[in-house]
Every structure is written in C-alpha cells, then in structure tokens.
A and B are shown apart, each in its own frame.
Chain A
C-alpha cells in the first residue's frame, strides 16, 4: 500500500487539509511540525481512515474539529488515495450523521478501485486483504510507543508480534474461533446435556421403579389368580360337600329309612299272619278229615239225589199212568190198558220224598260249610322264615343307614350346613375381593404404563448419554485442534526465532552507531531458551557476550528506542506486505549520531516512509534523509486549527 494522498476534513485540528505524496520523487516524505501541532493527529487520521474502529464513530466529540462543532458543520472525513501494485484506490471514510444524545456518529466507508467500488464491510474486507489491521503496528510507528516492546513484561507481546508477522493470523484465528466455539457453544452444551442426562437418568430411574412396581403388581395379580384358582377349587369342593350333604347320602339314608319303614310294616303284617297261621293250624291238621267228610257228604247227597230222582220218576210215571187210564198211553200211545199194568206197582212215596229232600238240603248245607273252610296257605314255619327274612333286610338296611351316618358323622346338623354355606359365601367374597384387587391393580398398571409413556416421551426430549458422549468427543477434538495449532505456532516461532534475531541485529548494526552503543553493545537477542515463558523478552547483548541486566539497569530511552526499532524493522522483513511506513516521533530521545544512523537506515529502506517529525528531528536524521525527501509539508497554525502547507 503506497500512500498517494490524504485529505482530512474536520478531524481534530485539521479543518480541511490535503497531503499529496506524489508531487516530487523521493521515498521519504516528511511532515514537519512543532510539538502539539498535529503530527499525532495526522498519524491517527490516516489509521482511522484505513481501519475506522475506535475513531470518531464512538468518540466523535474527541475527534470532531472544535470549530466545525461550533459552526454545526456535521461532517468529518478522511480520504486516502493509495496504490497497491499497479492498482489505484480511493478510500473515503466519513461521518455525516451524529447522534449527540447517544454520543455516537455513523461511519460510512467507500473504497473506489479501478474497476469496482466497495462499501462499508466489503470495503473494509478489501483493506484487510491489502494491509491487515493487525499489522498496522509495523507500518504506523510511534517512536515512543514502540519502546514498550523492550519492557520486562513485554515478552508475550513480542511473541504475538512475531506470530502476527509470521502470518499466524490464520492459526490464531482458528485457535480463537475454536476457543469461542468451546466456551460459547460446546461447553455450555455439554453442561446442559450433563444436566439433562442427569435428569434423564433420574427419569430412567423413575421408569425403572415404575416397571418394578408393575412387575410387583403383576406378580401380586398372579399370586391372587392362583389364590382365586385355589379358592375356586375349595369352593367347588365345599359346594360338592354341601351338595353331598344335602342330597345323595341323605337321600340314600332317607330311602333306607323308608325301606326300613316298609319292611317294618311288612314285619308287622307277617307277625299278624304268623299269629293267624298259628290259629289256623288246627284247620290244617283236620283238613283231610274234612275232605273225607266232604266226600261222604257228596256221596250221601248223590245217593239221596238218586233216591229222590227215583221217587220223582215214579211219581211222574204214576201220574202218567193215571192219565193213561183215562185214554191211550201218553208214553207209547198204546190203548192197551193191560200193558199199563206193568207200571202200576212203581213206588212214589211222598213222605219219603220230603224226607229225602230235607236230608239233601241238610247235607248240602254241611257240604257248603265244609267247602267254605279254606286250608291255610302257609304254615307258621313259612311265615317264620318270611319274618326272619324281613327282619334280616331291616337289619341290613339299618346297618347301611348307620354306615352312611357314620360317614357323615351323623346326620348333618343345620349349623354344619350353615358353616359350609358361610364358608362358600366367604370364599365367594374372597374371590370377589381378589378379583377386585386384580382389577384395581390392572387399572393401576395401566395408569403406571401411561405415566411411563409420558416419562419416556420426556426422556426422549432429554439429551442422552450418547449426546453427552458426542459433545464430549467434540470438545476433545476441539481441544486437540487447539493444542496442535499451538504446538505448530510455537514450533514455527522457534524455528524463525534465530532468523528474526539475525534480521533485527542487522538493523541494530545500522542504527546503533554512537560511540557508546558501539562500545557497550554487540547486538540484540531474545532472553533465555525458546521454551521458556519469557523467552521473547528483547535483550541487549553486551560486547563481552553477556546480556545486559535490563531488570536492575534499565536501558536509556535511546537504547530502548533503537532496540525496539531494530526489532520492528527486523521483523518487518517477514511481514510480506509492502506499505508506506508512517513514523511519528522518529528520533525521540536519540542522540545525534544514532539519529543520523537511523536516518541512513531509513534512506536504505525500499519501503516509502512518511515521517512526522519536529524540525530538530528532521535535522538530526541527517543528510541521508534530506537527500531522499519527496513530499515535504509543514503543519502551520491557522487560528486555533492546523493546516498542512507544502514546503517549497
């Protein structure tokens, strides 16, 4: 970046000033000004023009020109023209809107190139590419400020400067971005996941407990189902028992009782018959005589019947003979009376007939009476056998009944039946209760399962240990990357350490030309070994090779400036960027010899320089600088403001 011109409007003491660095040949441009004239303001204006940042945007009242403020001229700008290689650019950074209430102003940046125009962020990106802001320390120098680089605690800063120049910015950005990623995202995420994982574990534990509950409930249900089965079995048995008590055996016993009763009745009857049989026994004994008598009676009756029939026949014959005497024979129709005489002698005694008839009636009555006498069917012996049989049956039935009663323990009493019925009722109640318990548990199980479902959903919403593992792995990977990048950077810096030391010694040799410096110091070095924390503290090396005790014997201002300048320009060779170096307070506390040596060094540089110097500083820089001067301006007062005026 080769500066061509700078135009400043309403910035600090400059109301409207222009600096043209192209109107004369020469690589060293000079702006000469008294102390307080505006050299540092010009230095700041160019940096703000390039990089903005902590300039007027945020503290505009500090930078806003006092007279512009009084005139309410709300405009502030810096316009820089520069060349990068063959390309020409115009960069305009301006403020034309102020918010006095908030104490802010609004910057606008425009970069006009040969072919393209960029605005704001795009413009800034282009500037970054041309000359990164991080490197501005190496191109916008302040003779007093660079001295801090040799302070005792500046080792880390020196190291950072080295890293910046060695283009470690990519690595540093990667490290910083990875750190940001860790701090802002991955570690909070891990913490959240850990918290969620812990909640998840609690949920998992809760689910596990619920599942145990379900298991217990199911086991209880199984037990109760077994109990129901068992009780059902007992119930069935009890019912059977009750049924048996009520029906079969009792029925059999009742049947036996009935049969015994019938048999008893039969027995009574048989006994009666036996008595009767004993009574009729005489009939049995006389029965043959009766039969003989009945036979005799029948014979006599027959005999009397025959006699009676003879008498009746004879009577008929007599009557018929009587009739025949009066005519012909009624029997043969013969009218020969003589013939009839043979029938005249037939006997037909009426008295006898009457006697016989009476006798027959008597005999028949006797016969009938005998016929009415039935012989006994059974003998007493038979009845006795029958009686014994019945008695035996009765005894048999009674034995069976007694046996059944023994089995039942006697006839079931009402209380026993009640007990059984109560038992049945109790069993039925128990079974119902058990079923209700099971049902309640089933409902409870369903409820728990719903709860588990909810918890499972909740658990799914929570990050798992797998998520934790992933983010932990990611954190590990990020840390590994950061560590490796750090190792790479440090190794690179260590490798370059010696070369940078050589470069800065080369510069030191050129700029430290005074007698004292030559007598006392051999050169510069970094303290200690590359692995030590303060290994980048800059050290002056005395002629005997010993490093100067810079802790107990602080270097002078001039020594400090030369050391820092040597380091900056030595390192600048690694920067690989080409730019006009803008140097404020060049000589500082340098003596004439060293100042001239510095002037010679400046004249030897390839890079163009813009030196912001006092008249004495310019003089002390010597002829070498004078011969190389290109643009030459003076800062002149213009009322309370400053104005850049070209030196003829």
Chain B
C-alpha cells in the first residue's frame, strides 16, 4: 500500500494490470510521499532511476 489516498490506491489497482508496473509505481509514489514535505528532495533522480532499474530487472 502506498501512503497516498486510498481512492488513488484503488485506481492504481484497477488501472495498472501489470504486476511489475504496479510495483514500480508504488515504489515511486511511496518515495514521493516520504519526500512530500521536504523543500528539497535530494537525489530524486537517482532514486527514481533506481525504481526504473528495479522494474526492468524484475521484468526480465
């Protein structure tokens, strides 16, 4: 579960059928949620690229 709105969580479940894509989006949203109240979100590109890497690795 992401830390975001349960409605959005439901839509995510409904709209994204692929397990790995769903996993990637959750990882991204969880990270963004943790960074939400920080004025500077350091290392965001590295973090997001890491999630993309995980997704591509898992998908293999």
Contact = CB atoms under 8 A, between A and B. Distances in A.
Contacts of A488: 8, 11-12, 15-16
A129 B35 CA distance: 10
Interface string A158-171: 00000000111111
A484 B32 contact: no
B53 to A, nearest CB: 7
Chain A residues touching B, range: 35 or more
B44 A177 contact: yes
A185 B39 contact: no
Contacts of B7: 492, 495-496
A181 B48 CA distance: 8
A128 interface: yes
A178 interface: yes
Given A128-B38, A174-B28, A485-B25, A492 B49 contact: no
A42 B58 CA distance: 55
Contacts of B38: 125, 128
B28 A178 contact: yes
Contact of B15 (A128, A180, A478, A484): A484
Nearest to A168: B8
A121 interface: yes
State which size class the interface on B falls in: 20 to 34
Contact of B40 (A121, A185, A481): A121
A215 interface: no
B38 to A, nearest CB: 5
For the complex, would chain A's binding face be called helix, strand, loop or mixed by DSSP majority?
A: helix
A481 B16 CA distance: 10
Interface stretch (A81-89, A322-330, A469-477): A469-477
A473 B36 contact: no
Contacts of A168: 8
Interface in B9-30: 11-12, 15-16, 21, 24-25, 28-29
B4 A171 contact: yes
Interface string A491-535: 110011000000000000000000000000000000000000000
B41 A477 contact: no
Contact of A473 (B4, B12, B37, B56): B56
A186 B45 CA distance: 10
A554 interface: no
Contacts of B49: 181, 185-186, 474
B48 A125 contact: no
Given A171-B32, A474-B56, 9 more contacts: A129-B36, A132-B37, A174-B48, A177-B32, A181-B49, A185-B45, A480-B21, A488-B8, A492-B5
19 contacts: A121-B39, A126-B37, A128-B38, A128-B39, A129-B36, A129-B37, A132-B37, A166-B5, A167-B5, A169-B36, A170-B3, A171-B29, A173-B32, A174-B29, A177-B41, A470-B56, A484-B16, A485-B25, A491-B15
The 8 A-B pairs at the shortest CB distance, nearest first, are namely: A129-B37, A128-B37, A174-B32, A124-B39, A170-B32, A477-B52, A173-B32, A170-B33
